[in-house]
Amino acid sequence: MSTYVSKEIRAELDAARIATLKKTSRLRVEMGDNTYKILKLWKDGFTVEAETTPRLRGLVDIYDGANHLYQCLIVADEDEGGEMRYEFKRSTAAHDKAPLDFYRAPDAPIALLGHDD
């Protein structure tokens, strides 16, 4: 039995797979003012649709809906099955507040209240 699949059928299968991934993914990558849907995300990289996304490189931000997840330095890896794969050179988790430069005890008071004498 042959497992040969014609180019047209393979292209249709890839398009259907990518459309399904785009519908289910909330992840997006931002580069400057441009935003692109992330199809898959893993520890060392991510994929986007190769046909509609220009080649990305450099510093990008990754979001899950409105939540900023990572700021990453990326490099293009390979184009396979309609998906462009990118690898992280550096990935830094985003925080919603500035880091402290001192130790804050977990039971420390939030503020000090003065006495009215």
State which residues form the domain around 51. Answer: 26-93
**Residue 80: per-residue pLDDT:** 85
Contacts of residue 71, defined as CB under 8 A and 6 or more positions apart, other chains included, come to 59, 60, 61, 62, 91, 92, 94
What are the φ/ψ torsions at residue 86 (nearest 5 degrees)? -125, 140
| Percentage of residues of the chain with pLDDT beyond 90 | 37
Residue 38 burial class via C-beta count within 10 angstroms: exposed 0-12, middle 13-18, buried 19 and up: buried
Q: What is the CATH number of the domain that holds 79?
A: 2.40.10.430
With respect to residue 87, please indicate whether it lies within any of the assigned structural domains: yes
Q: What is the CA radius of gyration of the chain?
A: 22
In angstroms, the CA 95 to CA 53 distance is 27
Q: Is the pLDDT of residue 117 over 70?
A: no
Number of structural domains, the chain? 1
Over residues 13-18, mean pLDDT: 79
